Amino acid sequence: MRAVNRTVTATAAAFLFAATAPALAADYPPPANPGKLPAASKKGRKLVVCKRGCRFRTIQAAIQQATGRDLIVVKPGTYREGVRILGRRYDGLRIVGDPRRPRRVRLDGRGLRGASAQNAFFVNAADRVTIRGFYARNYKANCFFVVNVDGYTLDRLVAERCGAYGVYAFNSKGGTMSNSEAYYNNDAGFYIGQTPPQKGRKKRSFVTNVKAYLNVLGFSGTNMRYVTIRRSQFFNNGAGIVPNALRTEKFPPPEENVIADNDVFWNNFNYYRGAPFKIPERGPAGLSAYPIGIGVLLFGSQDTVVEGNRIFGNWLLGFGAVQQFELAQSNDPKLKEAATLRNNVVRSNRFGLGGRDLNGRDLGYDGSGTGNCFEANELTSPVPTIGPAAAYPPCPGPAANSANPEVLAQAAQWLAVQDPKKPETFEQFWLRHPHAPRTGVRPIEHFGQ
């Protein structure tokens, strides 16, 4: 019996570790200390970019002449370039396209080579940069990417068909992603990762009023901290929202995050049946393929609140929480601690849309960790919880939670059948239910259906 349990646990660990993706390997600069915010700059110049009749015909040409005091205004058109904003000279720079109709100001990476082909906008070590009102597509790495910064504003953006992430912040503090959409990205539509730990009053990052659809993951956050995701929609992705702890990036685990007042639905996009992007062959570290059909998954999170969300129509699982098994097996005590689910609160979420759009299963929690609790959630699916309801303790959470082996066994079953060469295997454990109509959106399980 002990041998069987070890097999189930190890297999489940492989499945769950594969549920998340670290930042894809690319020629990114090494992480650096984002530093402190400089004093506010005086008012600068307005530099105008347009295809014909302006001083600047490319965005990069304007940036070469700009400092952080300036405003760069970009007129409608298609710009085939990769924009780079590098260093403290650009602290506070604002770059604005068309906030009301961002698709009119396009950056297209098709046909570009070298560094220009990697990111539509790349901001490194320039604090408080604003990028607003742009549409980016067809870049090999990311559409909009900021790294090593203290403060950023990414607003009214459209990110389509980039090689890793649509809108991406890494090793940074205190930014906003808002009023934007991301789709057809072969990792995550939105991503915040490797947030440096802070003491005292933390600088939070806010993801507000965004839409992510037809990505592998709607939102991913490896080792993210102090992030609030609110009033947004994550639908028709392989999985919806996935904070996670991995050793491939610094500062595990994800902690002090809030996921509140979001619509997380229909995340059953089986991209192995076809996708408008390069289909991932394997999960991270050569393990199993990604799971498909999950709304929200916490993988090694601490002090995270999941509250007031509407989670429905996800045919594998609505919400899941599991310890990070790969880190739990480490000899490093810090990594072992980072693997632990601790003080996570799941409350007042509405699952299954009042019975009108059911999840396959509403809740799955492996019972590990300490202080994790569930309160006032509306469960309506025929399988409301994996395992007994007693494994989902009320708030405040107990000093020690109790293991739920049924979740591990279920995960092992899911993993055992998944084969990227047989796309239908990713749907074997789905529990399908009719979807409630939703204005302007239709459910998509297979691209082109």
Q: Say what the pLDDT of residue 268 is.
A: 98
Q: Say what the pLDDT of residue 412 is.
A: 81
Q: Say what the pLDDT of residue 62 is.
A: 98
Average pLDDT over residues 90-99: 98
CA 152 centroid distance within chain: 17
Segment 15-36, tens digit of pLDDT: 443 444 444 434 455 656 655 5
For the cut 70, the answer to whether the pLDDT of residue 41 exceeds it is no
* Cis before 333 (ω within 30): no
Q: Say what the pLDDT of residue 52 is.
A: 94
Q: Say what the pLDDT of residue 15 is.
A: 40
Q: pTM higher than 0.75, yes or no?
A: yes
Segment 385-407, tens digit of pLDDT: 999 988 999 999 999 999 898 98
d(C-alpha 167, C-alpha 154), whole Å: 8
Q: Say what the pLDDT of residue 40 is.
A: 44
Average pLDDT over residues 74-99: 98
Segment 128-164, tens digit of pLDDT: 999 999 999 999 999 999 999 999 999 999 999 999 9
For the cut 70, the answer to whether the pLDDT of residue 37 exceeds it is no
Nearest-5° Cα angle at 375, 374 to 378: 105
Contacts of 249 (CB under 8 A, 6+ apart): 22, 23, 193, 194, 222, 223
Please state the φ and ψ torsions of residue 69, each to the nearest 5 degrees: -75, -15
CA 156 centroid distance within chain: 17
Nearest-5° Cα angle at 160, 55 to 132: 45
d(C-alpha 295, C-alpha 409), whole Å: 20
Q: Say what the pLDDT of residue 31 is.
A: 59
Of 83, 175, 200, which Cα lies nearest the Cα of 191? Answer: 175
**Do 263 and 309 meet the contact criterion of CB atoms below 8 Å apart?**
yes
**Average pLDDT over all residues of the chain:** 90
Beta strands, E only, 36-138: 46-49, 71-74, 77-79, 83-86, 94-96, 105-108, 119-124, 129-137
Buried b (16+ CB within 10 A) or exposed e, 288-315: bbbbbbbbbbbbbbbbbbbbebbbbbbb
Please state the φ and ψ torsions of residue 116, each to the nearest 5 degrees: -65, -25
d(C-alpha 352, C-alpha 356), whole Å: 6
CA 394 centroid distance within chain: 28
* Number of C-beta neighbours around residue 436 at 10 A: 16
Beta strands, E only, 186-279: 188-193, 205-208, 211-213, 217-222, 227-230, 233-235, 239-244, 258-260, 263-265
